[in-house]
């Protein structure tokens, strides 16, 4: 019961934040929309920031679940790596689009985005490390420093999140299938002759 109430409050808050924006949503709005009293909300959350963080955590968990699932599929490490990259891009895009007015904040407030990412970056890197380690063990990848490579790769991918969400690649004449091919070539083959 406790978890259901908390989950309902998080989902109601997510919808309100997406529709009205974080700044324009009050604790009273969340209480009314969830058909709960303010006292109930304060039982689970100290303030609106804490609810916002719970929303981000909930959204992040969904993405991490997708990434974990694909890392356990019976695919070769190269396929797992490419799936990780593009499932991740699509999941981030889906989260940002689903959350309406949060989208503007995502593009506007870099510090807020970084705070939200911080909570899941280590877990994303762990999944990526597993894929890279498997690739090294199977002789598919030649990576000297797996942990560092995973972090550099992940941070590089995070740098592509906004252009991917905004579809800047298609504006440059790069369709999704070609983008996948270019990313694969860049990551797996590098640029060295």
- Of the candidates 156, 183, 160, 178, the residue with the CA atom closest to the CA atom of residue 83: 183
Place 23 in a pLDDT band, splitting at 50, 70 and 90.
confident
Mean pLDDT on 77-100: 88
Phi, psi of 139 (to 5 degrees): 75, 15
The CATH number of whichever domain residue 18 belongs to comes to 1.10.10.60
Q: Please state, in angstroms and rounded to a whole number, the distance separating the CA atoms of residues 101 and 65.
A: 24
Q: What is residue 57's predicted lDDT score, i.e. its pLDDT?
A: 82
Check whether residue 110 and residue 92 sit in a common domain. yes
Check whether residue 184 and residue 116 sit in a common domain. yes
Mean pLDDT on 20-30: 87
Q: Which residue has the higher pLDDT, 83 or 1?
A: 83
The CATH number of whichever domain residue 154 belongs to comes to 1.10.357
Check whether residue 167 and residue 148 sit in a common domain. yes
Place 128 in a pLDDT band, splitting at 50, 70 and 90.
very high
Cβ-in-10-Å burial (0-12, 13-18, 19+) of 52 comes to buried
The chain-wide mean pLDDT, for the chain, equals: 86
Check whether residue 93 and residue 19 sit in a common domain. no
Check whether residue 21 and residue 63 sit in a common domain. no
Check whether residue 73 and residue 27 sit in a common domain. no
CB of 129 closer than 8 Å to CB of 147 = yes
Q: Please count the structural domains in the chain.
A: 2
Percent above pLDDT 90 for the chain: 39
Check whether residue 57 and residue 31 sit in a common domain. no
Query: Is residue 107 predicted with pLDDT exceeding 60?
Result: no
CB of 135 closer than 8 Å to CB of 143 = yes
Query: Is residue 112 predicted with pLDDT exceeding 80?
Result: no
Place 106 in a pLDDT band, splitting at 50, 70 and 90.
low
- The boundaries of the domain holding residue 28 are 1-45
Check whether residue 113 and residue 178 sit in a common domain. yes
Q: Please state, in angstroms and rounded to a whole number, the distance separating the CA atoms of residues 73 and 124.
A: 16
CB of 87 closer than 8 Å to CB of 144 = no
Check whether residue 20 and residue 59 sit in a common domain. no
Check whether residue 26 and residue 107 sit in a common domain. no
79-83, 86-90, 142-146, 176-180: which has the minimum mean pLDDT? Answer: 176-180
Check whether residue 103 and residue 133 sit in a common domain. yes
Check whether residue 35 and residue 65 sit in a common domain. no
Q: What is residue 193's predicted lDDT score, i.e. its pLDDT?
A: 60
């Amino acid at each position: 019961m406790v978890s259901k109430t908390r989950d309902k409050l998080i989902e109601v808050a997510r919808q309100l934040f997406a529709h009205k924006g974080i700044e324009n949503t009050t604790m009273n709005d969340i209480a009314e929309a969830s058909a709960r009293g303010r006292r109930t909300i304060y039982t689970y959350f100290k303030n609106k920031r804490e609810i916002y963080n719970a929303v981000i955590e909930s959204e992040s968990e969904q993405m991490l679940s997708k990434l974990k699932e694909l890392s356990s599929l019976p695919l070769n490490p190269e396929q797992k790596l490419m799936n990780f990259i593009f499932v991740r891009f699509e999941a981030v895009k889906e989260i940002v689009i689903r959350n309406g007015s949060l989208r503007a904040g995502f593009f506007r407030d870099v510090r807020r985005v970084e705070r939200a990412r911080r909570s899941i970056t280590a877990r994303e890197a762990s999944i990526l490390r597993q894929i890279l380690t498997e690739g090294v063990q199977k002789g598919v990848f030649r990576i000297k420093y797996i942990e560092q490579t995973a972090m550099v790769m992940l941070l590089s991918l995070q740098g592509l999140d906004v252009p991917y969400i905004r579809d800047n690649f298609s504006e440059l004449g790069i369709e999704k299938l070609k983008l996948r091919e270019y990313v694969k070539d860049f990551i797996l083959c590098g640029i060295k002759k």
